[in-house]
C-alpha cells in the first residue's frame, strides 16, 4: 500500500476542525504524494460542471485507439499545485501548520474549465481559466511553505512551464512509451478540447487530502480543510 498527501480546493465544505482529521496511519517508508488544488472532486464543483465535463469526455473515449489510454476516474481529477514526493509521517503536523498559514488571506475565486491539450504525447488535459491570478498566488504560497517544511527549493512560478493549471484526463504509454495509435488518439482528443468552455464555479476552500494506492486508482481521504478569504 502506498500513501500520499495532497491538498484540494473546493466550492463547498467547512473550515478546518478536529472532525476533519482521520486517525494517523503509517505506511511503509512514510507518506508521499502531492499537494493539489482540487476543483472537481467530492462535490467540489456544481453538479452541472461535473456533468458537462463528463459529457465532453465521453465521445473522446470512443475515438480510435482511445481504449488504450488510461483514463482518470472523475472523482480523482485534480489540479496539482506542487509535487511533494515522499513525506515522513512525523512531518505532517508541521506541514499542516505551514499550509494553514499559506492559505491565510488568499481569496475565494472563480474558475472555469477551458481548452485542452497534451504534454509530449503522454498526458491529455483540460485547462482552467478565470481568476487564475488567485490560483497562481495560492500556488506560490504553497510551494514556498512546502519547500520550507520539507527542505526543498520551491520552483519559480514566474516561469509559465513551472505551473500550468490543468486537470489530467488520460495518460498514454500503458506499457512504456506510447505507440502510434495512442499518440494519434491523444492528439485528436486534445484538438477537440481546444474550444471547450465550461461553466464558472467558485473555489472557496482548500483541503489537505491523503491518498492511498492499492494497485488501482488512488483512494482519497480528507485530512484537514481551510476556508479561503471571502471576496
For 186-208, the pLDDT digits (tens) are 999 999 999 999 999 888 888 77
Q: Which residues are catalytic?
A: 78, 166
The tally of domains found in the chain comes to 1
CB atoms within 10 A of CB 24: 10
Question: Is residue 214 situated within a structural domain?
Answer: no
> In the predicted model, what is the mean pLDDT of the chain?
76
CATH number at residue 139: 3.90.1140.10
Question: Is residue 211 situated within a structural domain?
Answer: no
pTM reported for the whole predicted model: 0.76
Question: Is residue 152 situated within a structural domain?
Answer: yes
CB atoms within 10 A of CB 70: 13
Question: Is residue 164 situated within a structural domain?
Answer: yes
Question: Is residue 45 situated within a structural domain?
Answer: yes
Residue 119: give the domain boundaries: 37-199
- Per-residue pLDDT band for 48 (boundaries 50, 70, 90) equals confident
Question: Is residue 145 situated within a structural domain?
Answer: yes
* Cβ contact 200:130 at 8 Å: yes
Residue 31 scores a pLDDT above 60:
no
Over residues 14-20, the mean pLDDT reads 35
- Rounded CA-CA distance 188/180 in Å is 12
Using the structure block, give the residue that is written with the C-alpha cell 489537505: 208
Amino acid at each position: 500500500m502506498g500513501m500520499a498527501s495532497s491538498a484540494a480546493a473546493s466550492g463547498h465544505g467547512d473550515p478546518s476542525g478536529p472532525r476533519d482529521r482521520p486517525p494517523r496511519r503509517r505506511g511503509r517508508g512514510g507518506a508521499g504524494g502531492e499537494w493539489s488544488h482540487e476543483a472537481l472532486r467530492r462535490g467540489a464543483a456544481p453538479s452541472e460542471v461535473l456533468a458537462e465535463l463528463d459529457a465532453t469526455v465521453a465521445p473522446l473515449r470512443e475515438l480510435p485507439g482511445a481504449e488504450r489510454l488510461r483514463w482518470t476516474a472523475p472523482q480523482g481529477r485534480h489540479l496539482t499545485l506542487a509535487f511533494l514526493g515522499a513525506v515522513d509521517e512525523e512531518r505532517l503536523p508541521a506541514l499542516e501548520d505551514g499550509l494553514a498559514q499559506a492559505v491565510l488571506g488568499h481569496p475565494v475565486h472563480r474558475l472555469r474549465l477551458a481548452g485542452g491539450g497534451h504534454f509530449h504525447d503522454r498526458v491529455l488535459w483540460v485547462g482552467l481559466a478565470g481568476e487564475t491570478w488567485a490560483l497562481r498566488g495560492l500556488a506560490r504560497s504553497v510551494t514556498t511553505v512546502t519547500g520550507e517544511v520539507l527542505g526543498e527549493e520551491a520552483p519559480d512560478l514566474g516561469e509559465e512551464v513551472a505551473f500550468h493549471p490543468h486537470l489530467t484526463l488520460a495518460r498514454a504509454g500503458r506499457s512504456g512509451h506510447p505507440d502510434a495509435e495512442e499518440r494519434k488518439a491523444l492528439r485528436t482528443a486534445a484538438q477537440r478540447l481546444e474550444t471547450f468552455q465550461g461553466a464558472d464555479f467558485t473555489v472557496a476552500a482548500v483541503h489537505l487530502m491523503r491518498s492511498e494506492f492499492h494497485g488501482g486508482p488512488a483512494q482519497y481521504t480528507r485530512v484537514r480543510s481551510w476556508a479561503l478569504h471571502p471576496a
